[in-house]
């Protein structure tokens, strides 16, 4: 095989070929992984909805979207066998985590009390902010938010005058988490017959 002459034209040709090959390879990988990633994300979302709701028979697969001016929150209403409303799961988020966006699924019963939560996305520091996965459902001092109703409980960190103990050395992450929870409650209230919802204003 004849060796290419080392000149500018041939160097550009070789580099262009390498770039084209790399682009095609990346495009192929993206195409192959796009659908499995979407399916996995959907499955995680559906499981999170089921995990945070009170006992239910069925829930709306199509979310009610609530625009709070910053983000789109998604509300999934759940019902019993008689099609009576029993609660809702709300997908909410905050962009003010220590390392960026925190996304949650928060479940409320028909009275507005928090049943459970699931962290869908977070990039907080391992051993610190990442403890949010379980910190706020642990029955230790004032950590847990489970069973609390945002209409009557101040779901802010104690350092800010609230009732909840922040994750040790991770106040920023805790504030972002609780902000997302309060926003979830506001979205829940817009899609519930619970009269007590009017008594809270989310900040």
DSSP-derived secondary structure for 180-196: HHHHHHHHHHTT---GG
Strand partners, 76: 89
**Average pLDDT of adjacent 10-residue blocks, the chain of 203 residues:** 59 74 68 62 81 95 87 94 95 95 96 96 96 96 96 95 97 97 94 67 51
pLDDT tens, residue by residue, 116-140: 999 999 999 999 999 999 999 999 9
Using alpha carbons, select from 60, 105, 100, 103 the residue that is nearest to residue 79.
Answer: 60
């Amino acid at each position: 095989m004849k060796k290419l002459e080392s000149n500018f034209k041939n160097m550009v040709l070789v580099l262009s070929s390498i770039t084209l090959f790399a682009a095609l390879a990346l495009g192929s990988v993206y195409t192959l992984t796009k659908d499995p990633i979407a399916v996995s994300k959907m499955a995680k979302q559906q499981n999170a909805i089921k995990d945070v709701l009170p006992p239910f028979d069925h829930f709306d697969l199509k979310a009610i979207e609530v625009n709070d001016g910053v983000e789109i929150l998604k509300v999934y209403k759940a019902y019993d066998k008689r099609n009576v409303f029993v609660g809702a799961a709300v997908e909410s988020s905050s962009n003010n985590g220590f390392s960026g966006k925190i996304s949650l699924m928060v479940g409320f019963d028909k009275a507005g009390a928090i049943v459970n939560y699931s962290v869908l996305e977070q990039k907080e520091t391992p051993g610190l902010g990442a403890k949010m996965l379980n910190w706020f459902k642990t029955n230790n001092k004032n950590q847990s938010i489970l069973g609390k109703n945002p209409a009557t409980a101040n779901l802010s960190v104690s350092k800010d005058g609230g009732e909840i103990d922040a994750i040790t050395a991770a106040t920023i992450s805790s504030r972002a988490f609780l902000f997302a929870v309060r926003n979830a409650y506001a979205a829940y209230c817009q899609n519930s017959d619970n009269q007590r919802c009017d008594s809270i204003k989310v900040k």
